[in-house]
Every structure is written in structure tokens, then in C-alpha cells.
């Protein structure tokens, strides 16, 4: 009887630990400020390692936004 009780208690403890880990992972994914910080760190690291693709993306973004602004101003 004690072996069954110990086995059950061990399984409950393992399941509880797994549940806490899962809840922590979900909380981390839903924590928007933390995710923004992680994304910003990745971008900063990427810029330090390979700046050309990021600069090209920035230039393309500026060109798109500039084109939109020009198109809106011409419609007026």
C-alpha cells in the first residue's frame, strides 16, 4: 500500500511541476513588454553582426512610407 501511495504521490508531484512549467511558459509568451524586449535584443544583436540587411530593410521601409505620404499628399 505504501509503494502505491508513494508512486501516486511522485506522479502527482511530477505532474504539478510540469503544469507549473507550462504555465510559466504561457505567461512568458503572453507578457508583451518582455517579448518586445527580447525582439529588440535580437534586432540589436543582428545589427551588430550583419548591419547591411537591416539597413536595406530600413531603407525599403522609408521608401514605402515616403511613397504613401507622397500619394496621400497628391490626392489632396
Q: Which residues make Cβ contacts (< 8 Å) with residue 53, sequence separation at least 6?
A: 46
Instruction: State how far the Cα of 46 lies from the Cα of 50, in Å rounded to an integer.
Output: 6
Instruction: State how far the Cα of 76 lies from the Cα of 66, in Å rounded to an integer.
Output: 16
Question: Which long-range contacts (C-beta less than 8 Å, at least 24 apart) are formed by 26-35?
Answer: none
Q: What would the pLDDT profile of 16-43 be if each residue is shown by its tens digit?
A: 999 999 999 999 889 999 999 988 998 8
Instruction: State how far the Cα of 76 lies from the Cα of 71, in Å rounded to an integer.
Output: 9
| pTM for the predicted model, two decimal places | 0.46
Amino acid at each position: 500500500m505504501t509503494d502505491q501511495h508513494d508512486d501516486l504521490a511522485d506522479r502527482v508531484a511530477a505532474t504539478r511541476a510540469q503544469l507549473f512549467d507550462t504555465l510559466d511558459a504561457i505567461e512568458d509568451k503572453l507578457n508583451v513588454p518582455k517579448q518586445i524586449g527580447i525582439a529588440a535584443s535580437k534586432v540589436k544583436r543582428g545589427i551588430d553582426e550583419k548591419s547591411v540587411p537591416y539597413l536595406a530593410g530600413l531603407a525599403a521601409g522609408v521608401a514605402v512610407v515616403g511613397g504613401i505620404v507622397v500619394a496621400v499628399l497628391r490626392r489632396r
